[in-house]
Amino acid sequence: MRRNPERRQALIDAAIEVLAKEGARGLTFRAVDAEAAVPPGTASNYFANRDDLFTQVGGRIYERLLPDEATIARSREGVQDETRYAELMHELVDRVSAFNSGYLALLELRLESTRRPELRAVLTKRIREDIDANVGHHAASGLPGDSTSVVLLYLALNWLIVERLTLPDIFTEQEVHELVDAAVRRSLNA
Amino acid sequence: MRRNPERRQALIDAAIEVLAKEGARGLTFRAVDAEAAVPPGTASNYFANRDDLFTQVGGRIYERLLPDEATIARSREGVQDETRYAELMHELVDRVSAFNSGYLALLELRLESTRRPELRAVLTKRIREDIDANVGHHAASGLPGDSTSVVLLYLALNWLIVERLTLPDIFTEQEVHELVDAAVRRSLNA
């Protein structure tokens, strides 16, 4: 197996674009080579099989969805109240929506995981860890609310992003904004 | 175009199963014929093209997701309070989750709609009408909460169902139950 880490990453990033554009069935080594503009046969030197490619794509999307250091540092500044919580959630929804292809690819992976037990195990572990990390960060942050608030926001905002990316005319931008505010405000009320 | 309505419906129902099992790319007339156990060439006599098949599938899934008359009648009985609201939402989550293939097919349609403007228009209209109808039913029901409660519940419960159907080990059945209760309780607090 080839080991150039930059090349591997470029291939995985290309695979994300293929998944978003063509769906899970369209994710072939050949399509990845074409998307990455590398010689035919390259991807097959980097991944043992399609299962391996699918699981590496899952990990990479999560890596790219994480906020950068500057964003994390900024999120810890200022008063940690309900207004601040809402600001952070607006930023989150915008950041995730901006990585359009990544989020659509993640939905494709979820659907594909109903057919691939190995992928399902990897995604389950990754997403459960992500939820637990969010609950942990929240507890340490001084923001209002409890662990249930965090999970309810996770649920509501995920579907709001699905709506925005797949059927963008269901809610106006103004409605999206108001729904994020309302989701924060009401999820905090125990 | 053939017009036997029962045959058409059986083909559309077969298409739902194909979508859930094989993904959007796997939804071909040939696969529908095989799934419906009808002679090759049958589906192509009932649908003008794949776009037509996709949009008819979308309508049919919504039709099958609606509660039956008995369920609707029962939902109007008794005290219309927060406890009743939670019961209704538990029933809703269970009813939608039970039509596993329909819900997965709907997610496939949403992803496919990012590639098919005609399908996107049909789904947008159908889903917006569905949200508005839910808001209307809620207003007429005497249940607590406002239109924002209804939309927040729509968001949170949709993703909870996605989670349950695609990665069923993220939340235990007990956690799902408690999250539905919490989503109802908190979404009602304006």
Number of A to B CB contacts under 8 A, please give it.
129
B123/A104 Cβ within 8 A: no
Tokens representing residue A105 in the block: 């690819």
Task: Report the predicted TM-score, pTM, of the whole model to 2 decimal places.
Answer: 0.95
Predicted confidence band of residue B56 (pLDDT cuts 50, 70, 90)? very high
**pLDDT reading at B176 higher than 90:** yes
Alpha-helical regions (H) of chain A: 5-22, 29-36, 50-65, 69-75, 82-98, 100-113, 117-141, 147-166, 173-188
Q: How far apart are CA B139 and CA B92, in angstroms?
A: 18
End-to-end, the C-alpha distance of chain A in Å comes to 52
Residue percentage of chain B with pLDDT more than 70: 100
> Over the stretch A120-135, which tens digit does the pLDDT of each residue have?
999 999 999 999 999 9
pLDDT score, position A48: 94
Q: Which residue of A has its CA nearest to B114?
A: A166
pLDDT score, position B126: 93
Predicted confidence band of residue A11 (pLDDT cuts 50, 70, 90)? very high
pLDDT score, position B76: 86
A156/B113 Cβ within 8 A: no
Please compute the mean of the pLDDT values over residues B34-50 and round it to a whole number: 96
Amino acid at A9: Q
> Over the stretch A32-62, which tens digit does the pLDDT of each residue have?
999 999 999 999 999 999 999 999 999 999 8
For residue A7, how far is the Cα from the chain centroid?
22
Nearest Cβ partner for B114 among A104, A131, A182: A104
B108/A152 Cβ within 8 A: no
Predicted confidence band of residue A3 (pLDDT cuts 50, 70, 90)? confident
Q: How far apart are CA B50 and CA A15, in angstroms?
A: 26
Structure ipTM: 0.95
